[in-house]
A and B are shown apart, each in its own frame.
Chain A
Amino acid sequence: MTYREILDEAVGTPPPPSVDLDRIIGQETRRARRRRAGAYGLSAVAVLTVATGASVLVTPGVPDTGPVIASSGASAAQPAEIRNAMLAAIERAAPDLRWLPGAEQENDMARWSGPAVAEPSWPVSPFSHESASGWIGNGVAVRGDVRARLSMEVSRSKAGQSPEPSDCPEYARACETSPGPNGERVRVVEWEARYRPPGQPTIRAGHRRVDVLRPDGTQVHVDTMSRTEQFLLTAAEMTAVALDPALTLP
């Protein structure tokens, strides 16, 4: 078996593509048109400025070179509101969680040390992809002997983009889909993950994700990755967090 074949096998069967060639070509054509128009406009202003001798501060009007992105909920929401909604959802489902301040910036799970506190350490950031935008928050939570990264995304697909696949991937360790109480689609997936604590054998780490797609298109993802085999939250708790109606985008 060649490396390419092994890697191809690792990729598995891809889901239907969401790459829309017509849309991309349309965007690029409009972008090129705007750039030409901007360049002509600048030339006209420059000619006028020279002709009149006026001292004019010209701010280049060349449009942003990035792809045209439809407006989304991310820009309209306030980070504090989103953060509060995320933490409230977690608090309702798992009020006994404690947090490691600043540990969310540490990728090495072995370094998640120090005393746990009640005050959540939960930075929230906006994100915007070609196909979706929203907010992501994360922190390192503690429950009993379990320390795990808990992260949450609230997003919405952009115009013309399909939501993330909600079927069960064949390479998941375990997966279950179900309808939510208000028409949501719920997927609970346990992923294969391994972690080698310093000086110890590799263990299977508890990695679970719950994806909720609401009828209005809002997507909520809740993900936990433990440094032990135990999970931080039960599937029911994670589902309750993801289904929390307060997690919305304007």
Chain B
Amino acid sequence: MNRRDEDEFREFVSARLDPLRRTAYLLCRDWHLADDLVSITVGRLYRHWRRVRAADNVDAYVRGVLTHAWLDERRRPWRRERSSDELPDRPDVRAAESPVADRELLWELLGRLAPRRRAVVVLRFYCDLSVEQTAEILGVNTGTVKSQAARALEQLRLLAGNELATEYGRRT
């Protein structure tokens, strides 16, 4: 990589470092590991910079690299966290008494999602990627993305406000 490319690369990464770290943290729930994943991602982007630059949607490409870095990490024999496909029927409303509790509840909810479903949530609702882009990154069909997103959305919707407000009168 020549100096001009490297300067361009630095500028590109610097501009995206914070959102990349946040995305990684949403996926793995551990800042230490999140920074590891971002470092791995940045290394891979550097290695394939010309291909990255030529991508139709550079940000979708970058998030794909990050997601794969995390999924690779998940395949390792040890785990820093455990998750399951089981979602609670509904959030524990007693805990939802403040914005902090909402955040904790969402955090707990995200932690309970299986890795690929969590990736769907993060890519669709946090990174604003399309169903097609999400499907391409995860190597699944669009129907799978839609169904997984719908189930997760149902849970997130409770946190977004209206249903809790109606049922428990907490919000106005």
Contacts and interface: CB of A to CB of B under 8 A. Distances in A.
Interface of A: 1, 3-4, 6-12, 14-15, 17-21, 24-25, 27-29, 31-32, 67, 107-108, 125, 127, 129-132, 136, 149, 164-165, 170-171, 173, 192-194, 196, 201-202, 204
Most buried by B among A21, A27, A32, A171: A21
Chain B binding surface, main DSSP class: helix
A171 B103 contact: yes
B35 A9 contact: no
Contacts of B160: 1, 3, 6
Contact of A10 (B17, B40, B76, B107): B107
A15 B47 contact: no
Most buried by A among B32, B92, B100, B107: B32
A10 B33 contact: no
Contacts of A131: 32, 35-36, 39
Contacts of A127: 76, 78
Interface stretch (B20-28, B54-62, B134-142): B20-28
B35 A136 contact: no
Contacts of A20: 39
Contact of B39 (A10, A12, A130, A196): A130
Q: Which 6 residue pairs across A and B have the least CB separation, nearest first?
A: A3-B125, A130-B36, A192-B104, A125-B78, A129-B36, A18-B35
Contacts of A28: 43, 46-47
Interface string B6-45: 1001100110011001100110000111011011101100
A181 B149 CA distance: 50
A10 B82 contact: no
Interface in B79-122: 82-84, 86, 88-89, 92, 95, 99-100, 102-104, 106-108, 110, 122
A226 B47 CA distance: 44
Contacts of B169: none
A110 to B, nearest CB: 10
Nearest to B19: A8
Contact of B110 (A10, A67, A193, A202): A10
Contacts of B99: 9
A14 B104 contact: no
B52 interface: no
B131 interface: no
Contacts of B106: 6-7, 10
B43 A14 contact: no
A4 B128 contact: yes
B32 A132 contact: yes
A121 to B, nearest CB: 15
Given A8-B22, A21-B10, A131-B32, A3 B100 contact: no
Given A29-B1, A192-B107, 10 more contacts: A8-B126, A14-B31, A20-B39, A21-B13, A24-B43, A27-B43, A131-B39, A192-B104, A194-B92, A196-B89
B108 A192 contact: yes
B143 interface: no
Given A4-B125, A7-B125, A129-B36, A19 B107 contact: no
Contacts of B26: 7, 10-11
A19 B35 contact: yes
B46 A14 contact: no
A125 B77 CA distance: 8
23 contacts: A1-B161, A3-B125, A6-B106, A6-B159, A7-B106, A10-B110, A14-B22, A17-B17, A17-B35, A18-B35, A19-B21, A21-B10, A21-B14, A24-B46, A25-B6, A25-B10, A130-B40, A131-B36, A132-B32, A149-B82, A192-B107, A194-B95, A202-B88
